[in-house]
Amino acid sequence: MGLFSKVDGLNVLHLFPQDRIVSQMRERYLRVLQCNKNKGRIIVMIKDHLKFLELAFEEATLAESEGTYPIGAVIVDNEGKVVSRGRNRVFTQEDCTAHAEVDAIRKAGHILLDTTNKRFKKNDLTLYTTCEPCPMCTCTILLSGIKQVVWAADDDEYGAIRRMKEGPHFINQFNTINYIASPSLDLENKQRKMLKEWNIRRGIVNTEWEAK
């Protein structure tokens, strides 16, 4: 696996805490660093990535002590400032969506969102997590606009950033779901009208939410 991979515009860096693997990754990383240095790009040194992963593990330890999945996350800006921390709270809050990455993104809302103009801000944030993000967290990361993710351990069962890029994975998860799409044209147009007016209020005139 390469040091960096790109998934729908998302920069993904894989790091592993084991000494032997870290040594190998460090050597490969320094080669990438030298290559990018020649292009004038600034890359955070690997020791900083490991430092922020250790902060994510602090959150994972807290989650474990609270009786839920031991997974933690932190979000860091391009100056190395931690803007939010998150940890898994699925069983402590009885919330199936309370994953560590989602928790961290929720707490970074003041950085990610322009509440005055009702827009998403462009950001240069990196999300560090102790475990590869699942399908829900991967989609949340993409929708948040975060462009770089670093995780400590691959998740070969539910890890999604790599696999969702490759093709139609997790199809079996839909086998237990029944859905009924748009049973009422009146109700569909009611929602379309609300979203169209919402977009117009925030300056988006050409909207996809026209009535059918």
Active site residues: 101
CA distance 179 to 99: 25
Q: Which helix (H) or strand (E) holds 5?
A: strand 4-7
Gyration radius (Cα) of the chain, Å: 20
CA distance 174 to 112: 31
**How, if at all, do strands 126-131 and 148-153 pair?**
parallel
CA distance 54 to 194: 44
Q: Is the dihedral of CA 163, 168, 174, 175 positive or negative?
A: negative
